[in-house]
Amino acid sequence: MSGKSESIKIEASASMSNLGSGFDILGISVNIVSDEVIVEKRDDKKIIIQDIIPSDFNIPTVVEKNTCGFAVKSLLDNYDIDQGITISIIKKLGIGSGLGSSAASAVAGVCAVNELFSLGLENKDLLNFALEGEQIASKAIHADNVAPCLFGGVVLINNYEPINIIELPFPDNLYFTLIYPDIEIKTSQARSILPKEIRFGDAVFQTGKTAGLIAGFYEKNIEIISESIEDRLAESYRKHLIPYYDEIKNVAFENGATAFNISGSGPTVFAVSDNYATAEKIGQIIQEFLYGKSIGSNSYISKVNPNPPRAIG
């Protein structure tokens, strides 16, 4: 991208975090567009958030209170860039989905600035700036949506101080059915209900499952991956925020799912299978179940998305 360009539009994908046992340390990019961000140079030194589409999401347009705006400002300030810019954010999935919407805004914003000003930064250099933006929404530093959105694929956050990302291999026939009910759960709310301490036995269980999940990805073994998507840290607390969660989970297993859990903080839930037909069937039947309970929903089928954000338009 030429440094003479006056504007750029970046598309960032949705992501699933935690994957059951990998709380705050594992994330996957999926083939669903979450956000598009347009960054355009101005004739002054101001950073302006001009549009957020749709406009009824009640997302702050003050730069310091907006995930994309704050991430972009942090990057510009760090490199002493005083060129003004206008930011437009197009939300494709809404907010509070459990699919990394706020992370996608922050990631798309810093990628756009990197390209627009020809900074030549690698993803590892952009990560911390995107995390600063994500913190605005979640009230905590966690990279399990930001990192997969930025790098693509499956990522393990091995350390936070300093942050260290490990990209994991994955099987080609790993399918996810994602069901997004028509409700909103704020990440900060979902984190606030988690316990401050856990039982020693639960910690041992969780450690074993997390290790199994990572091993399953390295071996590209869906059976091991599925057996390891179990969680004692968050699922039992957060499932009460999702109507009919236990019933939906049972429906998924009855129709061929090999694993089931909450995507991030919800309300999106996901089922695992090894073929498209089963993944599609699970989505249709769960949607029918929810419709019978007067709850609308969207269903998506995705393999792991290996690609980072890209310029479009």
**Residue 104 is assigned to a structural domain of this protein:** yes
Query: pTM (2 decimals)?
Result: 0.92
Last residue of a domain, one of 169, 186, 207: 169
Q: Residue 93: what pLDDT?
A: 84
Based on the fold, state whether residues 289 and 155 are members of the same structural domain.
Answer: no
Q: What pLDDT is stored for residue 185 in this prediction?
A: 81
Q: Catalytic one among 40, 115, 177, 187? A: 187
Q: In the prediction, which pLDDT does 140 show?
A: 65
Q: Which residue stretches of the chain have pLDDT < 50? A: 1-3
Residues 69 and 125 in one domain: yes
Structural tokens at position 39: 């960054």
**Domain check: are 274 and 142 in the same one?**
no
Asked if 16 and 135 count as a contact pair (C-beta separation under 8 A), the reply is: no
Let me know if residue 309 belongs to a domain. no
So what's the pLDDT on residue 138? 65
Q: How far is CA 91 from CA 33, 99, 142, 170, 245, in A?
A: 9, 12, 21, 28, 26
Say what the pLDDT of residue 2 is: 39
Q: Choose one of 109, 144, 169: the last residue of a domain.
A: 169
Is 187 an active-site residue? yes
* 43 and 145 housed in the same domain: yes
Residues 135 and 182 in one domain: no
278 is known as an active-site residue:
no
Give yes or no: residues 95 and 179 share one domain. no
pLDDT of residue 306: 97
**pLDDT of 201:** 95
Residues 6+ apart with CB under 8 A from 99: 14, 15, 16, 30, 32, 34, 93, 178, 180, 263, 264, 268
The reply to whether 91 and 190 lie within a common domain is no
* CATH code: domain of residue 270: 3.30.70.890
| In a domain? residue 2 | no
Residue 89, domain CATH:
3.30.230.10
Tokens encoding 145: 């949506």
Domain presence at residue 55:
yes
pLDDT value for 177: 98
Give me the number of domains the chain comprises: 2
Strand partners, 272: 176, 259
Dihedral in degrees, nearest 10, Cα atoms 71, 77, 80, 81: 50
Domain that holds residue 24: 7-169
Candidates 11, 40, 134, 230; catalytic one: 134
